Amino acid sequence: MTNSLRIRPIAGALGAEIGGVDLARELDGNTIAAIRRAWLDHLVVFFRGQPLTPERFLAFARRFGEAVEYPFIKGIDGFPEITPVVKLEHERVNFGGLWHSDTAYLERPPMGTMLIAREVPPYGGDTLFANMYLAYESLSAGMRRLLDGLVAVNSSAKADVTKTREDRVRDGARTDAQCENEARHPVVRTHPETGGKALYINGAHTVRFKDMTEEESAPLLQYLFAHQQRPEFTCRLQWEVGSIAFWDNRCTQHNPINDYHGFRRVMHRVTLAGDRPR
């Protein structure tokens, strides 16, 4: 089946659409390896027209890693590893609605995330992705030397302050969720599979540098947060029902655009276990 795969880049920075494959079928090892290679090369890959059942969606995700439960929100009925990502018609705040990498406040943040669209608004609700290899590589040599020695403090409490998951936590919170998670990770992490260096801080979770106060850290962090969002580092996905995005959380950030008030958007997400950033 590998020969039938069609891999089409969608932007200069990152992102590719993969066609010629039916994800509802059991895929052979060569096809899974080719998809993984495209994922590592393009950082985020997209599939169209794949209305998978929860069982098949989870089975496909598991071909790439261990599916883990999201720390704050319960999974859908019968599938605790599948997290609902929902914005309802009356809600004004969307889930994760700012630039971030997923759960950087965990000691072992996820390797990757897979998201499938179940219901989409008639317009809007796109997701932006950004290449953190490029974000690092485009900095000056002096700035890279400075950042290479820094460690960032990341906290789930900052995500609470930004109110990006207010309704979902209120209505679907896990009873065993911790009040706050905090983790310290290198500002520049080395990808364990590609060996590339990526800028690994984000505006949703990073609060300061280790051994510095928040006030001391703020000027440099704010510069870097803005730098990470430069348009030439990004691509954009317009969702359709049955679209799937699979991104590498170790070297990308994403930002779901909140521009569809009055409409419903329902997604299902599977998170894949990662290692400790180094």
The answer to the question of residue 147 being in a domain is yes
The average confidence (pLDDT) of the chain is 93
Residue 222 is assigned to a structural domain of this protein: yes
How much is the pLDDT for 97? Answer: 87
Return the CATH number at 93: 3.60.130.10
| In a domain? residue 129 | yes
* More confident call, 101 vs 164: 101
In the predicted model, is pLDDT for residue 163 greater than 60?
A: no
Alpha carbon separation from 193 to 79, 187, 196 (Å, rounded): 29, 18, 8
Answer yes or no: is 19 within a domain.
yes
The mean per-residue pLDDT over the stretch 37-42 comes to 98
Query: What tens digit of pLDDT does each residue of 66-111 get?
Result: 999 987 789 999 999 999 999 999 999 998 889 999 999 999 999 9
In a domain, 200, yes or no: yes
- What is the pLDDT at residue 269? 97
Residues 114/246, Cβ–Cβ less than 8 Å: yes
Q: Between residues 157 and 45, which one has the greater pLDDT?
A: 45
Strands (E), 48-145: 67-68, 82-87, 112-119, 127-131
Q: Is residue 38 part of a domain?
A: yes
In whole angstroms, how far apart are CA 64 and each of 27, 67, 200, 274? 12, 9, 22, 11
Supply the residues annotated as catalytic: 100, 102, 254, 269
Question: How does pLDDT run across 106-128, given as a tens digit for each residue?
Answer: 999 999 999 999 999 999 999 99
- What was the pLDDT predicted at 2? 61
pTM above 0.85, yes or no: yes
pLDDT at 179 over 70: no
Q: Give the integer Cα–Cα distance in Å for 138 and 101.
A: 19
| 278 lies in some domain | no
What is the residue range of 256's domain?
A: 2-272
Specify if 277 maps to a domain. Answer: no
Structural domains counted in the chain: 1
